[in-house]
Structure 1
Amino acid sequence: MSVDHPPTPRSALWVLAHPRHESLNGHLYRTGVETLARDRDVMTSDLYAQRFDPVLGERDLGELVGEPGNLAELAGQAYARGQAPPDVQAEHEKLARAELLVLQFPLWWYGPPAILKGWLDRTFTDSFAYDNEIDPVHGFPRRYGDGGLTRRKALIVVTVGEDERTLGPRGVSGDLDSLLFPLTHGALWYVGIEALDLHIVHDADSLGAGDVDREIRRLQERLARITTEPTRPFRRLRDGDYPSDLRALHPGLLPGCTDLDIHRAAAEASRKSA
């Protein structure tokens, strides 16, 4: 079953994963939605406010409850039969329309809150966001740069409690780009969504009123130019950089390198010029 959901131009979906509306995240969320709404149709999913259930389980399987097999594949079959749960259907409708996806959350234990991970588990559904069929032209399944949600960009807005040195390339907490690689590459790029550079708010736990105002302005300025920003150039599966018999990056590309940056399409050029 080949999936494809052409987005609606000038539409956006802002997904918030934070439980407190009067928090810094709450202020950034309201500012961001208001700013985008000046020239876009903006939909929202405030996951805590709408009490979104993040647990992928039996109710996602429709009439296939009790059937043996992979849970994600069974959920995809239920979706194909029109039996996805109403809350998932509502998120599918918003995702199908959105040209820009904004995911906003605080960094908890070096990853997104569980409610956002569960939103991905339940809404990036097999047969909706991706499928297992082999593309007859390229010989690869529609994943990593292909899939049901191509022609979309995603902005991740993340608040962190640490500074740029602690949460940096040589910091004790690790590099934030690497920590969120499972989200930018393993989830978004997997279904064809191109990620923009992260929008990071450092030292979020200790910001004063003036600092909050500064971060609000910085987000507004970022959103004002979002249409013209380049996305992260991850490698597409169908371009042949990952031969199907190896299931890994071609040995002739950046031999000996094992860091996550090798999965960027421009990695060779950037390293040669360094």
Structure 2
Amino acid sequence: MASKTVLIVYAHQSLSSFNAAAKDAAVEVLTAQGCMVAVSDLYAMKFQAAATAEDLIGGIQHPEHFCYAEEAKLAWEEGNLSIDIAEEQRKLNEADLVIFQFPMYWFSVPAIMKGWIDRVLTLGFAFTQEKRYSEGLFKDKKAMLSFTTGSQESMFSENGINGDMNVTLWPLQNGILHYCGFQVLAPQIFWAPSSVPRDECSGMLERWRYRLWGLLGEEPLSFTPLECFEKEGFQLKPEVQEQHAGQEFGLTVGIHLGKRLPPNSQMKSIKAGV
């Protein structure tokens, strides 16, 4: 862990929140191991959530048909992105590990954090059509979600009213983190800390502290490599489908081949065997 750089992208309004305590624990433990830790406190920074033409300080190059993604790519190439985006991209470039610390809102991240994702992970900087998923631009970096829920763990189960948490996490972990190439570590989930006794909250934080000591040595979650897909249409290659035809479970939550979803594939490091 020594000499590693960690970026914590943090989204909570209150200094006395459980999320603040989880963030502070990460800063303390990682720093104690010799890591350089930077925190982007989005609410304190008053980080702009909306991706607009104002992000492009060099002006719009194709105003007749404005496309934010393409314009942001051109601005990034020319060093013309707004100062706040450029600063976050600098931090991200330097980071070996990125931890997203937040309360789960509506089965996803808070709007201010989604804005960070929309504005900072620009086309060209974070991904291209050629460089994504297992061949992504950030394939030498690790990332993870660390978040609180408002519901008990049982409510996010296969039989729970909220549905399987593995399904909930797929768009965030595959569609954002893995899409950009990150090695995605298993999430740290703090189940309904506002609804449990204080000593149980303390126990959650102690388990998080314990995990932090070996965090960068953990095996990442398993996703189906890009090489398993056809270059045209990006469908699974026939030989890969044949290889798994007799398997009980699909490859992943999203690429399940019409089979049962692999248990806990978005929650724990489980080899997919591909």
TM-score by length of structure 2 reads 0.85
Instruction: Give the AA of the match of 2:120.
Output: T
Cα deviation digits, residues 147-206 of structure 1 (max 9, x gap): 322211112111012222211233210122221211111111111101111111112221
Greater Cα shift, 150-159 or 248-257: 248-257
Alignment check: 8 A CA contact 1:9 1:99 kept: no
**Helix, strand or coil at the partner of 1:180:** helix
Instruction: Provide the identity percentage.
Output: 31
Deviations 1:44-91 (A, max 9, x none): 101111110011110123334235242111111111010010000110
State how far apart, in whole Å, the 1-side matches of 2:47 and 2:203 are. 31
Aligned partners of 2:64, 2:208: CA distance in 1, in Å? 47
What residue is the counterpart of 2:13 in the other structure? 19
CA distance in 2, matches of 1:235, 1:192: 12
1:47 pairs with 18, 37, 42, which one? 42
**What's 1:260 paired with?**
253
Match of 2:202 in 1: 213
Query: Are the aligned partners of 1:76 and 1:127 in contact in 2 as well (CA < 8 Å)?
Result: yes
Unaligned runs of 5+ in 2: 257-264
Partner AA of 2:54 in structure 1: R
Alignment of 1:98 onto 2:95: yes
Aligned to 2:224: 235
Q: Is the 8 A contact 1:129 1:149 kept in 2?
A: yes
**Structure with more contact order per residue of length (Cα contacts < 8 Å, sep ≥ 6):** 1
Aligned partner of 1:29 in structure 2 is 23
Which of 40, 51, 57 is the matching residue for 2:52?
Answer: 57
- Contact 1:101/1:153 (<8 A) preserved: yes
Give the corresponding residue for 1:196: 185
In 1: Cα distance, 2:218 partner to 2:98 partner: 14
Aligned to 2:171: 182
Residue of structure 2 in register with 1:82 after alignment: 79
Specify the code of the residue in structure 2 equivalent to 1:94: K
Residue in 2 aligned with 1:247? 234
Q: How many residues align?
A: 252
Whether the aligned pair in 1 keeps the contact of 2:224 and 2:252 (CA below 8 Å) is no
Distance 1:268 1:100, change over 3 A: closer
Q: Is the 8 A contact 1:100 1:152 kept in 2?
A: yes
Runs of 4+, deviation exceeding 6 Å: none
Which amino acid in 2 is paired with 1:202?
W
Q: Give the corresponding residue for 1:166.
A: 155
Provide the alpha-carbon RMSD of the alignment: 2.2
SS in 1 for 2:44: coil
Q: CA deviation at 1:208?
A: 2.4
Alpha-carbon distance in structure 2 between the residues aligned to 1:246 and 1:75: 26
- Report the 3-state secondary structure (helix = DSSP H, G, I; strand = E; otherwise coil) of the residue aligned with 2:43: coil
